[in-house]
Amino acid sequence: MSGVTQRYISKELIHFVGRGLKEDEQYKLLIHIIQSGWLTHPPHNPNISGNLTVNPNAKISKNEMYSPQVICFCDIPTEDLSLHVKKYSPFGLSFSKDFISKNGGSPIHYLSQKSKVRVIKNIEPKDMEELFNKGKGIEAFFDHIDKGEYFDKMMVEYHELFQMFRKMIMDNRKVAGVPPEHSRLMDLERFLSFHIFSYFKFFDHSLNDEHEDNYYFEREWRTIGNIQFSIEDINTVFLPKKYGMQFRKDLPDYYSQLIFMD
């Protein structure tokens, strides 16, 4: 059906600011961001951008193993923002998906922690034959474990094997220095770390909609690194109505859309 648009996604991506701050502080932060022309991640320095901390001993299922410096946006239609605003802030600004995409943004990949994974058991050949003789079905050869548990297990394997490969390459080099195979392995590891694992987000699908850790509804996009923008790049500014007049005084050069979140 041509021309039909689904409302469950938005034409713009929204970043709400000041979660946990008092309302006046949230407003001041919004003005500061727009005037500075920078959306920044901690430590909120335009010159420090896009780093990644990896803790191999943490659990990826808890979203703690990979900690990239990111800016997060939600892909939620304006009419459906009320739940998200309650959890974060009524102050925000949005940009087109094209603008965020050109700044490296992409949707994240949500993974349900409790989703079951079918994993083949480690069964000796003689035991397999016995199971067949007893008429056991194919499912007797598999375990079913939580996806979060499975990823935690396999990520331990991943890190251990990469360390093994790195050591093998260095131990078997023919001349002094770093062999090209080592550089290729490091490039692969950086690719997986920055562009795959940093875009995983595990969640508990059983939480109710209002729970602060139920972020599946956000349809998050993220960019690794700070974003510089001009006031003309902003699609919409969101704030409570009582700040409308002050906003127009503080930012007389802003001519795009203004939406009151009350």
Question: What is the Cα–Cα distance from 107 to 199, expressed in whole angstroms?
Answer: 8
Prediction pTM value: 0.87
CA distance 205 to 213: 10
Confidence category of residue 1, pLDDT binned at 50, 70, 90: very low
Say if residue 48's pLDDT is above 80.
Answer: yes
pLDDT digit string, tens, across residues 246-256 = 999 999 999 99
Cα-to-chain-centroid distance, residue 120 = 30
More confident residue, 215 or 161: 161
Name the β-bridge partners of 237. 93, 258
* pLDDT tens, residue by residue, 118-172: 988 777 666 666 666 665 666 677 889 999 999 999 999 999 999 999 999 999 8
The pLDDT tens digits of the residues spanning 55-81 come to 999 999 999 999 999 999 999 999 989
The whole-number pLDDT of residue 137 equals 63
Q: Cα–Cα distance between 151 and 202 in angstroms, integer?
A: 10
pLDDT at 255: 94
The residue ranking higher by pLDDT, 213 or 249, is: 249
- Count Cβ atoms below 10 Å from residue 219 Cβ, excluding itself: 18
The residue count for the chain: 262
Residue 7 has pLDDT above 80, yes or no: no
Helices 147-171 and 180-195: crossing angle in degrees, nearest 10, is 160
Mean pLDDT confidence for 228-240? 97
Query: Percentage of the chain with pLDDT > 90?
Result: 75
Of the CA atoms within 13 Å of residue 33, those in its CB half-sphere come to 24
Q: List helix spans (H) across the chain.
A: 23-36, 82-87, 97-102, 125-133, 147-171, 180-195, 244-250
Mean pLDDT of all residues in the chain? 91
DSSP state letter for 159: H
pLDDT at 2: 47
Q: Where is pLDDT greater, at 195 or 130?
A: 195
